[in-house]
Structure 1
Amino acid sequence: MRRQNLSLVLGAVAGHSPLSRADVAGRIGLTRAAVSSLVDELIGRGALTEAAATASGRVGRPGRALAVNDRGPAGLGLEIGITHLGACVVDLRGEPRVWRRVERANTGRPVGEVLAETAALAADAQAEAAALGLRVEGRVLAVPGVVANQPAGLVERAPNLGWRGVRPADHWPDPDTAPEPENEANLGALAEYWSAEQAAETFVHVSAEAGIGAALVIDGRLFRGARGFAGELGHIPVRPDGADCACGARGCLEQYAGDAAVLREAGLAQHRPGDPVALLTERAAARHEPTLRALDRAGQALGLALASAVELIDPDALVLGGAYAELAEWLLPPVRAELAARVTVRPWDPDALRPSALGRRGPLLGAALTTVRRIMADPLLLPAG
């Protein structure tokens, strides 16, 4: 009960600050004495601060303004991408305070080398956060691969990195500070849900870089599946007799809407390496006809896969994240056309398909916010002052 009440107080202040203790009591329906005790504990754990007395317009002593601490507890997010490493520190208000990204070609690199460099980046980000008065309370690592429910902490496979059966903690310099791995698409979806002003409760979030990933949020909760493998949209067949896929199947969506496929269709494959999304955006904006045709075909294939997801799941929304968000100007029309032609069993609002405002920042931000959201739900995770 105390855990729940601490969470109620912290949530009230986070959503409506500045508030006095009396204001909080009125909002959550507890007595002032109970709220005062809870506030004292949250201040002691570093979650809240209390400013000087301010006039509230009510009769009696002025209240002291409570606010979520912008120093103290924080979450550290890390990301291993195909072409980069990232680190982000977010305070309890959900504000990014440290943001780092370094370009690295990680495909095929030794696992230990990649994780050692990620650990060094994490240490630098944590040191920068400490200089701002922030104390990292948890670490989550976004990876472009399948993370099993059991055993915990195991990246079952990340084909675009060349990983199979990798446990990041086994390669981390200090196992006590090793991050918890999570699929990047899942974290992108959670960041979308936590950050959007009017987030849908049930939606499909689909994103792409070297591969295509999707995540399902159902009634406000991430759906991971029985073993943690839910969301492999990139390997749904959209052309049953189509091109061979690295997964062993044929005609998978990745072969038609992944960045390598789009570059190939656009005649731009020779420009790889580099940032393929920036290249496609540049050429599409310049009205490069092969690029426009390639994006149109990718949108058709993506729409075909998403139509199946709509019929199966009945979501409130479809969100294009990651690289797809940056290419939305050219992808949305063909995706919408496919949905209009194929979603016939249930009503479908074309505006329910939209790009994410987070773009490629989503997975890293979601990794950092995971710790913050856990603390908001259970402030007892914080050490007592």
Structure 2
Amino acid sequence: MTLPVRHDSMRARNLGVVLDAVRRGGPQTRAALAERTGLTKSTVSKLAGDLIEAGMLAESGPARAGERGRPGVEVVLSGDRVAALGCEVNVDYLAVCLLDLAQRVRFTRRRGQDNRGKPAKRVLAQLRTLAVEAMAEARRLGLDVAGAGLAVSGPVADGVLLTAPNLGWRDVGAVDLLGLPVETTLGNEASLAALGELWFGAGGQDFLYVSGEIGIGAGLVVGGELFHGTRGLAGELGHVVVSPDGPRCRCGGAGCLETAAGQEAILTAAGDVATVAELLARLENDDELAVKACGEAARALGIALTSTVNLLDLDRVVLGGIYAPLFGWLAPPIERVLADRLVKLRSTPPTLTASQLGGQAATLGAAGLVVHQVLADPTRFLPR
């Protein structure tokens, strides 16, 4: 039996259709929106009026200034009313980002600190302090925070961080402990960073995003959509074995990629360098030990990526996290490994690029997730 569609459900869907059309197509007249969406001009006009009143769209001026006749007025996404909050807790920092509906960053804050071995409740309370600061800035700007995304360095399910070996956390109710007064969505850091690259970077519609931090994660984007896996646990590239007889990993295994190409492994191999900034300075001065450390990490990463490319038939790999500033030293040896190991199966290895989002990829992805939820269903933010 086919059930009738409720009027309010149809209106909610059509509002989302109009917003998404503006997001994808940029400034458009109501007539152009009617043609693009298949809705009638009168319906589009009414929906656009409601969205303008709600502060989600704004009129940007005549579409054909200077032409004869009465030009149509274009509408664009407006960032003057609704915003989203992106939060991240990683091994050695906390970060927040405030993003408006037009996908402009309105506020960021990042605090470097070692979170290993600290109680999750305490660390998430510190993150909440940064989030509250961001929400106060939103109020000052006249923005309503629609929701929050929380990025964590480990696999997640149903609002729970299942395990984070580098933090020493297991089965942590991260959303509840963060305790924000808005609906909060929990996600893996690398997966959300991949979404950040998709929406704000230059990854394209199909790519593998590799997040190099103290741990190593990955997010796979296929056809413009994040691949989650059967249980939402896809992307644990850091625990792909690259040397079966290698050192023990915090996950309990041995020879994982993380032990050879994670941030700590590289800094230690470079001569117990304290920070990535110091490592970069040594690399720029052609320090032999630093160059060797990056080369060894790159070869291990190349081996892991070879298996991934063989399995998934990838054409693009984006390196993020600390791998982005180290790209100039990592890319050549990675590309050599890929070329040597893939030559019999592929005419060319995948394109390797560095993320341009810096340390904001995960928080941008977390906030962008909420923005896209609002764009899909804006009804709860419309005036009653």
Shared fold per TM-score greater than 0.5: yes
Give the whole-Å Cα distance in 1 for the aligned partners of 2:224 and 2:185: 21
Aligned to 2:365: 366
SS where residue 301 of structure 2 aligns? helix
Match of 1:223 among 216, 222, 227: 227
Aligned to 2:175: 169
Q: Which residue of 1 aligns with 2:125?
A: 116
Alpha carbons 2:324, 2:356 under 8 Å: kept: yes
Q: CA deviation at 1:251?
A: 1.0
Deviations 1:23-43 (A, max 9, x none): 322443433212101212222
Structure 1 residue matching 2:323: 3-state secondary structure: helix
**Alpha-carbon spacing, 1:53–1:235, altered in 2? closer, same or farther (3 Å):** closer
Q: CA deviation at 1:328?
A: 0.4
Q: Which secondary structure does the structure 1 equivalent of 2:134 belong to?
A: helix
Decide whether aligned partners of structure 1 residues 8 and 60 sit closer, same or farther in structure 2, where only a CA change above 3 A counts: farther
Equivalent residue letter for 1:42: L
CA distance in structure 1 between the aligned counterparts of 2:299 and 2:70, rounded to whole angstroms: 64
Structure 1 CA distance, aligned partners of 2:143 and 2:179?
22
Q: In 2 relative to 1, CA 358–133 (structure 1 residues): closer, same or farther, beyond 3 Å? A: same
Post-superposition shift, 1:14?
3.0
Matches of 2:283 and 2:310 in 1, distance apart?
A: 31
Cα distance 1:320–1:31, how it changes in 2: closer, same or farther (>3 A)?
same
Confirm or deny that 1:99 pairs with 2:108.
Answer: yes
Decide which moves more: 367-376 or 301-310: 367-376
CA 1:59–1:28 in structure 2 vs 1: closer, same or farther (change >3 Å)?
A: farther
Residue 225 of structure 1 aligns to a residue whose secondary structure is coil
Whole-Å Cα distance in 1 between the matches of residues 244 and 380 of structure 2?
49
Q: Distance in 2 between matches of 1:349 and 1:340?
A: 7
How far did 1:55 drift? Answer: 5.8
The aligned amino acid for 1:35 is V
Q: Which residue of 2 aligns with 1:232?
A: 236
Q: For the residues of structure 2 that align with 1:45 and 1:183, how far apart are their CA atoms?
A: 32
Residue pairs, 1:333-344, within 5 angstroms: 333-344=332-343
Equivalent residues in 2 for 1:121-132 (5 A)?
A: 121-132=130-141
Q: 2 CA distance for matches of 1:210 and 1:5?
A: 44
- Which of residues 238, 242, 250 in structure 1 aligns to 2:254? 250
* C-alpha distance in 1 between matches for 2:175 and 2:370: 18
Amino acid at match of 1:167: G
Q: Distance in 1 between matches of 2:193 and 2:18?
A: 28
Distance, in Å, in 1 between the alignment partners of 2:61 and 2:43 is: 21
Query: By how many angstroms is 1:285 displaced?
Result: 1.0
**Whole-Å Cα distance in 1 between the matches of residues 92 and 249 of structure 2?**
21
The reply to whether residue 331 of structure 1 matches residue 336 of structure 2 is no
Displacement of 1:52 in angstroms is 6.2
Q: For 1:262, what is the secondary structure of its paired residue?
A: helix
* Alignment check: 8 A CA contact 2:145 2:182 kept: no
Q: CA deviation at 1:383?
A: 3.9
More displaced 10-residue stretch of structure 1: 221-230 or 284-293: 221-230
Structure 2: distance between partners of 1:349 and 1:277: 32
1:58 and 1:10 map into 2 onto residues whose CA distance is: 27
TM-score scaled by structure 2? 0.91
Query: Which residue number in structure 2 is paired with residue 32 of structure 1?
Result: 41
Partners of 1:282 and 1:361 in 2: how far apart? Answer: 22
- For the Cα contact (< 8 Å) 1:168–1:178, is it kept in 2? no
Tell me the TM-score normalized by structure 1: 0.91
Cα distance, 1:58–1:26 mapped onto 2, change above 3 Å: farther
Task: Give unpaired runs (5+ residues) of structure 1.
Answer: none
1:202 aligns with 2:201: no
Within 5 Å, give how 1:1-385 maps onto structure 2.
Answer: 1-50=10-59, 56-57=65-66, 59-148=68-157, 152-173=158-179, 176-177=181-182, 179-197=184-202, 199-267=203-271, 269=272, 271-272=273-274, 276-347=275-346, 349-350=348-349, 352-385=351-384
The CA distance in 1 between the partners of 2:344 and 2:350, in whole Å, is 18
Give the aligned residue type for 1:166.
V
Shift of 1:382: 2.9
Question: What's the CA shift for 1:345?
Answer: 4.9
Structure 2 counterpart SS, 1:109: coil
SS at match of 2:246: coil
Distance in 2, matches of 1:366 and 1:41, equals: 28
Identity %: 44
The letter for the 2-side match of 1:319 is: V
Kindly indicate whether the alpha-carbon contact (under 8 Å) linking 1:56 and 1:63 is maintained by their aligned counterparts in 2.
no
Count residues in correspondence. Answer: 375
Q: 1:20 to 1:192 in 2, by over 3 A?
A: same
SS at match of 1:87: strand
Deviates more, 1:89-98 or 1:14-23: 14-23
Supply the AA of the counterpart residue of 1:48. L
Question: Compared with structure 1, are the counterparts of its residues 296 and 133 closer, same or farther at alpha carbon in structure 2 (3 Å cutoff)?
Answer: same
Would the alpha carbon gap of residues 383 and 28 (structure 1) be closer, same or farther in structure 2, given more than 3 Å must change? closer
**CA pair 373-105 structure 1, distance change in 2 beyond 3 A:** same
Q: How many angstroms apart in 2 are the aligned matches of 1:379 and 1:44?
A: 12
Q: Secondary structure at the match of 1:161?
A: coil
Tell me, in whole angstroms, the C-alpha distance in 1 between the residues paired with 2:105 and 2:347.
Answer: 35
